[in-house]
Amino acid sequence: MFNKKVLKFPNGFLWGTGASAHQVEGGNFNNWSEWEKRNAEKLAKKAKTYWQPWQIKQFPEMLQSKNYISGRACDHYHRFKEDFDIAKSLGHNAHRFSIEWSRIEPKEGKINQGEIEHYRQVLIALRDRGLEPFVTLYHWPLPIWLSQKGGWLNPKAPYYFDRYVKIISENLFDYVNFWITINEPNQFTLNSYLRGIWPPQKKNVFKYFEILNNLAEAHQLAYKSLHLIDLKCEVGIAKNQTFFEGNFMKYPVSYIHNKYFLNKIKNQQDFIGLNYYFHNRIKRFMFNHNDDKNCSDLGWEIYPEGIYYILKDLKKYNKPIYITENGLADVNDQKRIKFIKDHLYWVHKAIQDGVDVKGYLYWSLLDNFEWDKGFEPRFGLIEVNYKTLERKIRPSAYEYAKICKNNELNL
């Protein structure tokens, strides 16, 4: 497929990984942690029929309810310096993480200054190691008090979010150049309000659009607030985009999933964060008619070429693009380096075709808690033993390190 050559990336290109608070920190108390406790047994029973036999054989723990309770996760909350030392040793110069809203405002209007100081130390640790922080302000869990008020269906939710954003930015703006207001608004609403598999599990197409509109308003308010505090900062979102192909159905579906939200905020973003995982081939009125010849442990088709077409489509927004997530579940680390290299080949091709891509953050630094899938999907460059919390660098991490350190892809 490839000629033997070296593909150089632009000077100043950012290389690194990402993580989210609820998935790695441990010890969180929010609407997700409470939902896990109520639904762990149901998820374990569902796994018997949801997963393929080869997946169950490979991950028998998925049949145990404890797999679906985040608990201490990776204990990154206490071990972030150790984890960032590893990232630095692997040649990374950027890292994306999220601030957990429920830690900052555990009760409505009551701000925990100790937790603000914790995240200040996280930022200082990143800066001390030469890692550019990308700070996500909302990565899905909500404080219990807001969840009890209806969550994002509450018309005041955007203003509650803006109040929280102001507190964070007023305290931490000295350390942050890149703010990501919201992670994957479309994926969150899809799974919570159309599929009904994530909290609060309410299937309603009208609420789906209501939530998207409230999230867009939240972003717009936060965008203004962040720039009032720091004119030089850059503000964007992390947007999950799916590459749809097939018949005429791809146009309305792609508009709703890929473009609806971006169009609403197109005048209130300084960059676009791209999360790319999915290819979806449509036949007649049916989705996901993919070949599935090459899949991750989760059964997600690996389709590197799709990232090129997504990037080309995003070019029309005329904004810098950072790839804020791209990764796969691969417990045996057999496909990860080819996955990274193949995607970077198409990223480089998009750059050559005029797309302003400025960074690539692999998902993720650590194995982590994969929401309703539990602990078994292993996305990390670093393997985590959840019993001992021992960290072990996977071979693919060293191959990725060569790319990061040399700012080039050797094919």
Q: Which residues are catalytic?
A: 184, 325
The residues, any chain, with a CB within 8 Å of residue 403's CB and separated by 6 or more, are: 15, 340, 341, 344, 409, 410
Straight-line distance from the first to the last Cα atom of the chain, in angstroms, rounded to the nearest whole number: 10
Torsion angle, alpha carbons of 21, 238, 396, 72, to 10:
10
Torsion angle, alpha carbons of 73, 277, 46, 335, to 10:
-80
Which token pair is 366? Answer: 């650590």
| Contact in structure between 94 and 404 (CB atoms under 8 Å) | no
Which token pair is 107? Answer: 């009760």
| Contact in structure between 220 and 266 (CB atoms under 8 Å) | no
| Contact in structure between 36 and 371 (CB atoms under 8 Å) | no
358: Cα separation from own chain's centroid: 17
**Three-state SS annotation for 178-218:** EEEEEECHHHHHHHHHHCCCCCCCCCCHHHHHHHHHHHHHH
The candidate with the shortest Cα–Cα distance to 47, out of 61, 69, 63, is 63
Which token pair is 393? Answer: 């660098």
**343 vs 345: CA distance, rounded Å:** 5
3-state secondary structure (DSSP) of residue 313? helix
Which token pair is 395? Answer: 């071979």
3-state secondary structure (DSSP) of residue 323? strand
Torsion angle, alpha carbons of 167, 180, 85, 11, to 10:
-130
Residue 292, H or E segment = none
Q: Measured at the alpha carbon of residue 407, what is the angle toward residues 405 and 411, in degrees to the nearest 5?
A: 105
The candidate with the shortest Cα–Cα distance to 186, out of 156, 216, 166, 146, is 216
| Contact in structure between 407 and 359 (CB atoms under 8 Å) | no
| Contact in structure between 297 and 377 (CB atoms under 8 Å) | yes
